[in-house]
Amino acid sequence: MPDPGAVVIGDDVALDRISGDGVVLHPGSRISGARTFVTSGARIGSEGPATVENCYVGPGAALKGGYFADAVFLAKASCGLGAHVRQGTILEEQASVAHTVGLKQTILFPYVTLGSLINFCDCLMAGGTGRDNHSEVGSSYIHFNFTPNQDKATPSLIGDVPGGVMLNRSPVFLGGQGGLVGPCRLAYGTVTAAGIICRHDQLKENHLVLGGKSRSGSIPYVTGNFLGLKRILDNNFHYIGNLYALGQWYAHVRRLFVGNGLPAPLLEGLQETLQNGIDERIGQLGRLRDKLAGAAADGVAGRFADGWSELRERLIALQPFEGDGAVRDRFLEQVAHQISERGKDYLAVIGGLDRALADAGTQWLNGIVERVAETATLLTR
């Protein structure tokens, strides 16, 4: 057995992908995986043993203790002791989670903060403008991502990509000891009171969601009833559209910032991990279709089950869609100009864009989301 007080680096790790510039691997750290990339100033295992497999760890990121696999952590992202972070997860700049947090297929935009004792899989969260004005999830929170019908077509969108990437939207606050039942969509500025379970979309910005009284008792119930299926499908299509928009953002905007703060392998890790998330979402819709096909399906359920093959092809064909090229190019030209003046500080450049320019970027990305959502719902209306 390996010495628990030693640092263990697997034979499959390319040592030239672990920086010698200020990286600290504390005793009890175990690093493996041919894709693993650890860059300057990263710290691993400062609070307890840490296992890192095929992760991309950015400048100054801190994985303080736990299990980390197939995930990306950008500059100064951090995870506390007892983290359990798995495939499809991205923590962008300065996103953080406290101790004992479980993430899988989770994307946290810059500054988003999660408290302790949280399970937050299958969701994307944005919002906030800085460390002193950030979206937050209170301790002991759960994103419910597995249904009684045993499917995971349940991704929740908290904020969105077109607005969230601009770092100028109101933060979202999810009160502690509460939960969110996926798939849900919450607008910027949403606040959910502590201790409540949010089961419905909140699409108007700057609203407080309070808990209502629930009736006790029991009623007949048989699994296989897919209640609210149209909303479930619409939310899935919106989620996939947002992932496609994020892919275009990474390909065209993030690429402009490749340098010390975003080495090329880190950008590759972002794109690879995002693709894993896209594949997961389309795969989960396919599994939902299989369950519907085994039941007596009519209406939306029948159209979705019968038309899934065509719909899947449409979704896959839409991924390369780049939106309005003219709007995009004008936006990119101005971002490049800002980089020439400010340098490749992503948070400073994007957070410092004037509102009109940021709105133009949002318009570009919204066009991608809307194209996906509209095309995908044609077969399910």
The DSSP string of 266-291 is HHHHHHHHHHHHHHHHHHHHHHHHHH
Is 98's pLDDT higher than 60? Answer: yes
Is 294's pLDDT higher than 80? Answer: no
For range 174-190, the mean pLDDT: 98
CA distances to 154, 231, 252, 298 from 184, rounded to whole Å, are 8, 9, 28, 24
- Put residue 63 in one of left, alpha, beta given phi > 0 → left and psi -120 to 50 → alpha: beta
For range 1-24, the mean pLDDT: 87
Give percent of the chain above pLDDT 70.
96
Is 1's pLDDT higher than 50? Answer: no
Question: What pLDDT does residue 179 have?
Answer: 98
C-alpha span between 33 and 52 (Å, rounded)? 8
Is 219's pLDDT higher than 90? Answer: no
Q: What is the pTM of this model?
A: 0.96
Give the confidence band of 375 by pLDDT, cuts at 50, 70, 90: confident
How many of the other CB atoms lie within 10 Å of CB of 19? 16
For range 177-191, the mean pLDDT: 98
CA distances to 118, 154, 306 from 81, rounded to whole Å, are 13, 27, 47
Question: What pLDDT does residue 213 have?
Answer: 59
The per-residue pLDDT for range 250-276, each reduced to its tens digit, is: 999 999 999 999 999 999 999 999 999
Is 296's pLDDT higher than 60? Answer: no
Give the confidence band of 216 by pLDDT, cuts at 50, 70, 90: confident
Q: Where are the domains of the chain?
A: 8-209, 229-377
For range 76-104, the mean pLDDT: 98
C-alpha span between 313 and 112 (Å, rounded)? 34
Average pLDDT of the chain? Answer: 94
Is 226's pLDDT higher than 90? Answer: no
Is 378's pLDDT higher than 50? Answer: yes
**Bridging pattern class, strands 208-209 and 191-192:** parallel
CB 256 within 8 A of CB 332: yes
C-alpha span between 65 and 78 (Å, rounded)? 10
Tokens 């590759």 -> residue: 268
CA distances to 182, 230, 290, 368 from 149, rounded to whole Å, are 13, 16, 12, 31
For range 308-329, the mean pLDDT: 96
Is 169's pLDDT higher than 80? Answer: yes
For range 21-31, the mean pLDDT: 97
CB 305 within 8 A of CB 297: yes
C-alpha span between 313 and 72 (Å, rounded)? 28
Question: What pLDDT does residue 3 have?
Answer: 61
Is 78's pLDDT higher than 60? Answer: yes
Question: What pLDDT does residue 2 have?
Answer: 53
Length of the chain: 381
The CATH code belonging to domain 8-209 is 2.160.10.10
Contacts of 171 (CB under 8 A, 6+ apart): 127, 128, 129, 133, 134, 135, 136, 188, 189
Question: What pLDDT does residue 212 have?
Answer: 65
Question: What pLDDT does residue 236 have?
Answer: 97
CB 188 within 8 A of CB 172: yes
Query: Three-state SS across 18-85?
Result: ECCCCCEECCCEEEECCCCEECCCCEECCCCCEEEECCEECCCCEECCEEEECEEECCCCEECCCEEE
